[in-house]
Copies of this chain bind each other. A is one copy, B any other.
Amino acid sequence: MPNKLSVGILGATGIVGQRFIQLLEHHPWFEVSWLAASDRSEGRPYAEAARWRLKTAIPERVAKMTVSPATPAGAPKIIFAALDASIAKEMEPEFAAAGCAVVSNSSALRMQSDVPLVIPEVNADHIRLIESQPWRRGKGGFAVTNPNCSAIGLVLALAPLHRRFELETVMAVTMQAVSGAGYPGVASLDILGNVIPYIAKEEEKMEEETQKLLGTLNGAVIVPAPFAMSAQCNRVAVEDGHTESVSGALRDERAMQPRSRGRRPH
Contact = CB atoms under 8 A, between A and B. Distances in A.
The bracket for how many chain A residues form the interface is 35 or more
Interface in A181-217: 183-195, 197, 204, 207-208, 211
Interface string A236-266: 1111100101011100000000111111110
Contacts of A66: none
A234 interface: yes
B184 A187 contact: yes
Contacts of A52: none
Interface in A59-104: none
Contact of A173 (B226, B245, B258): B245
Given A173-B245, A197-B243, A263 B224 contact: yes
A248 B192 CA distance: 30
Of listed A188, A228, A243, residue having the most chain B CB within 10 A: A188
Given A188-B185, A229-B261, A247 B211 contact: no
Nearest to A248: B171
Contacts of A178: 188-189, 192
A108 to B, nearest CB: 20
Nearest to A196: B243
Contacts of A193: 192-193, 237-240
Contacts of A265: 226
A106 to B, nearest CB: 20
Contacts of A262: 169, 207, 211, 226-230
A265 B166 CA distance: 12
Contacts of A264: 226, 228
A183 B194 contact: no
Interface of A: 169, 171, 173, 175, 178-179, 183-195, 197, 204, 207-208, 211, 224, 226-230, 232, 234, 236-240, 243, 245, 247-249, 258-265
Given A175-B234, A188-B190, 18 more contacts: A169-B260, A171-B248, A178-B189, A183-B187, A185-B188, A186-B189, A193-B240, A194-B238, A195-B238, A204-B261, A208-B261, A228-B249, A228-B258, A228-B262, A229-B260, A230-B259, A230-B260, A236-B237
